[in-house]
Amino acid sequence: MLGREEIEKIIPHRAPMLLVDRITELTEEGAVGELDVREDAMFVQGHFPGNPVMPAVFELEAIAQVGAVAILSRPEFAGKTAYYASIDKAKFRQMVRPGDTLRMEVKLEKLRGSFAVASGVAYVGDKLAAQAEIKCAIGE
């Protein structure tokens, strides 16, 4: 298991934009990570007063960060950054609220040179919250 300190050694994100608390599984095929959604998280402040919900775009970012850990943990990509190239087939099925643990599962579908395609899903408990196909370019 990787904690935030180890994750910060792999991807360049930092608080408040680091959206992965721990990586529970890391393989050549992908990674699984978790985010404990806190009430004081910057992305739920004002979204929405009295009815806090994690914005869908942050769910996608959390999925992408887990994918970035999977890619950038490879020796040939150490010290690099993964940049969005596209997000396709994004769907949102379940609201994510403070107190929830969002579990992101990312599978690397293609990795050619400095370009990657991954499929990602996010769950709250056993309920599917979000899913998407994410393409990224790996650069300096």
Count of Cβ atoms closer than 10 Å to residue 53 Cβ: 14
Dihedral, 47, 68, 101, 131 alpha carbons, nearest 10: 70
Give me the DSSP letters along 49-116: TTS----HHHHHHHHHHHHHHHHHTSGGGTT-EEEEEEEEEEEE-S---TT-EEEEEEEEEEEETTEE
Count of Cβ atoms closer than 10 Å to residue 103 Cβ: 19
Backbone angles phi, psi at 70, to 5 degrees: -60, -40
Please indicate whether residue 47 is annotated as part of the active site. yes
Set 4, 22, 47, 107: catalytic member: 47
* Amino acid at position 93, single letter: R
- Catalytic positions, please? 47
